[in-house]
A = this chain, B = another copy of it.
Amino acid sequence: MSLATDAADQPTLYKRIRADIEKRILTGEWPPGHRIPFEHELVARYGCSRMTVNKALSELAQADLIERRRRAGSFVRRPQHQSAVLKIADIRAEITALGRAYGYELIHRKLRTATAADRERLGVKKAGKVVAIACRHSADDVPFAVEDRLIDLSSVPDAATADFSRDPPGSWLLHHVPWTEAEHTISAIVADNRTAEVLDIAVGAPCLVIDRYTWRSARTITAVRLLYPGDSHRLVARFKGG
Protein backbone atom coordinates (compact mmCIF):
# COMPACT_ATOMS: atom_id res chain seq x y z
CA MET A 1 0.00 0.00 0.00
CA SER A 2 0.96 3.63 -0.10
CA LEU A 3 0.32 6.12 2.62
CA ALA A 4 -2.16 8.88 2.13
CA THR A 5 -0.20 12.11 1.88
CA ASP A 6 -2.77 14.10 3.75
CA ALA A 7 -3.42 11.89 6.71
CA ALA A 8 -2.80 14.89 8.93
CA ASP A 9 -6.35 16.20 8.77
CA GLN A 10 -7.64 12.83 9.93
CA PRO A 11 -9.07 13.12 13.39
CA THR A 12 -7.61 9.88 14.67
CA LEU A 13 -4.54 9.92 16.80
CA TYR A 14 -2.46 7.22 15.13
CA LYS A 15 -2.93 8.85 11.74
CA ARG A 16 -1.72 12.14 13.16
CA ILE A 17 1.35 10.47 14.62
CA ARG A 18 2.02 8.72 11.32
CA ALA A 19 1.59 11.94 9.35
CA ASP A 20 3.83 13.91 11.72
CA ILE A 21 6.68 11.45 11.30
CA GLU A 22 6.12 11.07 7.58
CA LYS A 23 6.36 14.82 7.16
CA ARG A 24 9.68 15.07 8.95
CA ILE A 25 11.09 12.31 6.80
CA LEU A 26 9.84 13.75 3.54
CA THR A 27 11.09 17.25 4.27
CA GLY A 28 14.52 15.88 5.10
CA GLU A 29 14.37 17.02 8.71
CA TRP A 30 14.97 13.36 9.61
CA PRO A 31 17.37 12.10 6.95
CA PRO A 32 18.00 8.45 6.05
CA GLY A 33 19.63 6.62 8.92
CA HIS A 34 18.14 8.95 11.53
CA ARG A 35 16.73 7.15 14.51
CA ILE A 36 13.19 8.27 15.17
CA PRO A 37 12.00 8.49 18.79
CA PHE A 38 11.45 5.24 20.62
CA GLU A 39 7.91 4.05 21.06
CA HIS A 40 7.97 4.96 24.76
CA GLU A 41 9.11 8.48 23.90
CA LEU A 42 6.26 8.91 21.44
CA VAL A 43 3.89 7.48 24.04
CA ALA A 44 5.03 10.23 26.39
CA ARG A 45 4.88 12.94 23.72
CA TYR A 46 1.38 12.12 22.52
CA GLY A 47 0.04 10.88 25.82
CA CYS A 48 -1.34 7.66 24.44
CA SER A 49 -0.78 3.94 24.81
CA ARG A 50 2.00 2.06 23.12
CA MET A 51 -0.37 0.15 20.82
CA THR A 52 -1.38 3.43 19.23
CA VAL A 53 2.13 4.56 18.34
CA ASN A 54 2.95 0.98 17.38
CA LYS A 55 0.17 1.04 14.81
CA ALA A 56 1.49 4.27 13.34
CA LEU A 57 5.06 2.98 13.16
CA SER A 58 4.00 -0.38 11.76
CA GLU A 59 2.28 1.31 8.86
CA LEU A 60 5.32 3.46 8.17
CA ALA A 61 7.40 0.31 8.17
CA GLN A 62 4.98 -1.40 5.79
CA ALA A 63 5.33 1.57 3.48
CA ASP A 64 9.12 1.14 3.63
CA LEU A 65 9.58 4.64 4.98
CA ILE A 66 11.24 3.38 8.14
CA GLU A 67 13.02 0.25 9.21
CA ARG A 68 12.41 -1.22 12.63
CA ARG A 69 15.15 -3.08 14.45
CA ARG A 70 14.67 -4.86 17.73
CA ARG A 71 16.54 -3.40 20.62
CA ALA A 72 18.02 -0.72 18.36
CA GLY A 73 15.01 1.40 17.43
CA SER A 74 13.35 2.63 14.25
CA PHE A 75 15.34 4.29 11.50
CA VAL A 76 14.55 6.33 8.44
CA ARG A 77 15.24 4.19 5.42
CA ARG A 78 17.45 5.10 2.52
CA PRO A 79 15.36 5.73 -0.60
CA GLN A 80 14.84 2.53 -2.56
CA HIS A 81 17.20 3.22 -5.38
CA GLN A 82 14.92 4.83 -7.87
CA SER A 83 12.22 2.21 -7.92
CA ALA A 84 8.83 3.38 -9.02
CA VAL A 85 5.23 2.38 -9.16
CA LEU A 86 3.85 2.34 -12.64
CA LYS A 87 0.16 2.21 -13.17
CA ILE A 88 -0.63 0.40 -16.37
CA ALA A 89 -4.30 1.14 -16.50
CA ASP A 90 -6.96 -0.70 -18.40
CA ILE A 91 -6.92 0.90 -21.82
CA ARG A 92 -10.58 1.79 -21.88
CA ALA A 93 -10.35 3.33 -18.42
CA GLU A 94 -7.22 5.19 -19.41
CA ILE A 95 -8.80 6.73 -22.48
CA THR A 96 -12.06 7.69 -20.82
CA ALA A 97 -10.09 9.15 -17.92
CA LEU A 98 -8.43 11.44 -20.45
CA GLY A 99 -11.87 12.69 -21.42
CA ARG A 100 -11.65 11.18 -24.87
CA ALA A 101 -14.05 8.90 -26.68
CA TYR A 102 -13.07 5.25 -26.45
CA GLY A 103 -13.30 3.22 -29.62
CA TYR A 104 -12.81 -0.51 -30.06
CA GLU A 105 -12.52 -2.64 -33.13
CA LEU A 106 -12.04 -6.39 -33.42
CA ILE A 107 -9.63 -7.22 -36.21
CA HIS A 108 -9.79 -10.97 -35.98
CA ARG A 109 -10.64 -13.77 -33.59
CA LYS A 110 -9.62 -17.36 -34.12
CA LEU A 111 -10.20 -20.51 -32.11
CA ARG A 112 -7.55 -23.12 -32.73
CA THR A 113 -5.54 -25.93 -31.23
CA ALA A 114 -2.40 -24.42 -29.73
CA THR A 115 0.52 -24.39 -32.11
CA ALA A 116 4.07 -24.81 -30.89
CA ALA A 117 4.45 -21.03 -30.99
CA ASP A 118 1.29 -20.59 -28.93
CA ARG A 119 2.48 -23.04 -26.31
CA GLU A 120 5.83 -21.31 -26.17
CA ARG A 121 4.17 -17.95 -25.73
CA LEU A 122 1.79 -19.15 -23.02
CA GLY A 123 4.46 -21.18 -21.29
CA VAL A 124 2.42 -24.39 -21.28
CA LYS A 125 3.48 -27.85 -22.33
CA LYS A 126 0.27 -29.63 -23.25
CA ALA A 127 -1.52 -28.83 -26.46
CA GLY A 128 -4.99 -27.42 -25.87
CA LYS A 129 -7.41 -25.01 -27.43
CA VAL A 130 -6.63 -21.32 -27.52
CA VAL A 131 -8.33 -18.17 -28.74
CA ALA A 132 -6.19 -15.72 -30.68
CA ILE A 133 -7.45 -12.17 -30.87
CA ALA A 134 -6.24 -9.04 -32.60
CA CYS A 135 -7.97 -5.76 -31.94
CA ARG A 136 -7.49 -2.02 -31.97
CA HIS A 137 -8.21 0.62 -29.35
CA SER A 138 -8.71 4.21 -30.36
CA ALA A 139 -9.23 7.58 -28.69
CA ASP A 140 -11.41 10.10 -30.47
CA ASP A 141 -11.16 7.88 -33.56
CA VAL A 142 -7.36 8.09 -33.57
CA PRO A 143 -5.61 4.72 -33.23
CA PHE A 144 -4.32 4.42 -29.67
CA ALA A 145 -3.00 0.90 -29.41
CA VAL A 146 -3.15 -2.42 -31.15
CA GLU A 147 -3.58 -5.58 -29.12
CA ASP A 148 -2.52 -9.11 -29.96
CA ARG A 149 -3.78 -11.64 -27.45
CA LEU A 150 -3.79 -15.35 -26.77
CA ILE A 151 -6.18 -16.90 -24.24
CA ASP A 152 -5.72 -20.41 -22.88
CA LEU A 153 -9.13 -22.08 -23.07
CA SER A 154 -8.22 -24.83 -20.63
CA SER A 155 -7.92 -22.08 -18.01
CA VAL A 156 -10.79 -19.92 -19.22
CA PRO A 157 -13.33 -22.16 -21.03
CA ASP A 158 -15.92 -19.38 -21.19
CA ALA A 159 -13.70 -17.40 -23.51
CA ALA A 160 -14.58 -19.82 -26.33
CA THR A 161 -18.11 -18.49 -26.54
CA ALA A 162 -17.49 -14.92 -25.39
CA ASP A 163 -18.35 -12.18 -27.86
CA PHE A 164 -15.34 -9.94 -28.36
CA SER A 165 -16.84 -7.94 -31.18
CA ARG A 166 -18.10 -5.15 -28.93
CA ASP A 167 -16.13 -5.33 -25.68
CA PRO A 168 -12.35 -5.67 -25.53
CA PRO A 169 -11.06 -9.01 -24.20
CA GLY A 170 -9.14 -7.28 -21.42
CA SER A 171 -12.33 -5.95 -19.86
CA TRP A 172 -14.08 -9.26 -20.35
CA LEU A 173 -11.27 -11.13 -18.63
CA LEU A 174 -11.25 -8.71 -15.73
CA HIS A 175 -14.82 -9.70 -14.97
CA HIS A 176 -14.41 -13.40 -15.54
CA VAL A 177 -11.03 -14.18 -14.00
CA PRO A 178 -10.42 -12.84 -10.52
CA TRP A 179 -7.10 -12.00 -8.88
CA THR A 180 -4.43 -12.81 -11.32
CA GLU A 181 -0.71 -12.35 -11.18
CA ALA A 182 1.14 -10.93 -14.12
CA GLU A 183 4.46 -9.92 -15.51
CA HIS A 184 4.93 -6.97 -17.80
CA THR A 185 7.84 -6.39 -20.08
CA ILE A 186 8.28 -3.00 -21.68
CA SER A 187 10.43 -2.48 -24.73
CA ALA A 188 10.63 -0.46 -27.92
CA ILE A 189 10.45 -1.49 -31.57
CA VAL A 190 9.98 0.23 -34.88
CA ALA A 191 6.75 -0.22 -36.79
CA ASP A 192 6.67 -2.82 -39.56
CA ASN A 193 4.30 -2.54 -42.51
CA ARG A 194 1.32 -4.16 -40.86
CA THR A 195 1.69 -2.29 -37.58
CA ALA A 196 2.15 1.02 -39.36
CA GLU A 197 -1.05 0.47 -41.27
CA VAL A 198 -3.15 -0.48 -38.27
CA LEU A 199 -1.85 2.37 -36.11
CA ASP A 200 -1.85 4.85 -38.98
CA ILE A 201 1.79 5.79 -38.51
CA ALA A 202 4.85 5.67 -40.73
CA VAL A 203 6.82 2.51 -41.28
CA GLY A 204 9.94 2.76 -39.10
CA ALA A 205 8.21 4.96 -36.53
CA PRO A 206 8.96 4.04 -32.90
CA CYS A 207 6.48 1.97 -30.92
CA LEU A 208 6.22 1.23 -27.24
CA VAL A 209 5.63 -2.45 -26.54
CA ILE A 210 4.04 -3.94 -23.45
CA ASP A 211 4.04 -7.70 -23.16
CA ARG A 212 1.84 -8.95 -20.40
CA TYR A 213 1.76 -12.53 -19.25
CA THR A 214 -1.02 -13.37 -16.82
CA TRP A 215 -1.61 -16.40 -14.64
CA ARG A 216 -3.53 -17.49 -11.59
CA SER A 217 -2.24 -20.05 -9.12
CA ALA A 218 0.50 -21.16 -11.50
CA ARG A 219 -2.01 -21.55 -14.32
CA THR A 220 -1.54 -19.56 -17.48
CA ILE A 221 -4.50 -17.50 -18.54
CA THR A 222 -3.49 -15.09 -21.24
CA ALA A 223 -0.55 -13.51 -23.01
CA VAL A 224 -0.99 -10.13 -24.63
CA ARG A 225 1.17 -7.74 -26.61
CA LEU A 226 0.18 -4.09 -26.79
CA LEU A 227 1.74 -1.71 -29.29
CA TYR A 228 1.49 2.04 -28.80
CA PRO A 229 2.70 4.73 -31.15
CA GLY A 230 5.85 5.63 -29.25
CA ASP A 231 6.11 9.30 -29.96
CA SER A 232 2.57 10.13 -28.96
CA HIS A 233 1.78 7.75 -26.16
CA ARG A 234 3.50 7.76 -22.81
CA LEU A 235 3.38 5.67 -19.73
CA VAL A 236 3.51 7.77 -16.62
CA ALA A 237 4.76 6.49 -13.31
CA ARG A 238 4.61 8.68 -10.27
CA PHE A 239 6.09 7.71 -6.98
CA LYS A 240 7.07 8.85 -3.56
CA GLY A 241 10.04 7.65 -1.60
CA GLY A 242 13.26 7.94 -3.51
Contacts and interface: CB of A to CB of B under 8 A. Distances in A.
Given A81-B89, A89-B81, A216-B28, A231 B188 contact: yes
Contacts of A117: none
A31 interface: yes
Given A1-B1, A62-B1, A174 B242 contact: yes
Given A87-B84, A90-B81, A32 B179 contact: yes
Contacts of A187: 206, 208, 230-231, 233-235
- Most B CB contacts (10 A, CB to CB) among A59, A63, A88 go to A88
Interface residues of A, number: 62
Copies of this chain, count = 2
Given A179-B242, A208-B187, A240-B181, A174 B81 contact: yes
Interface string A203-242: 0111111001000110000000000101101111111111
Contacts of A10: none
Given A85-B86, A93-B81, A238 B183 contact: yes
A140 B205 CA distance: 30
8 contacts: A27-B216, A81-B174, A86-B88, A88-B237, A181-B239, A183-B236, A183-B239, A190-B205
The 8 nearest A-B residue pairs measured at CB: A188-B230, A86-B86, A188-B188, A1-B62, A188-B206, A81-B90, A184-B237, A186-B235
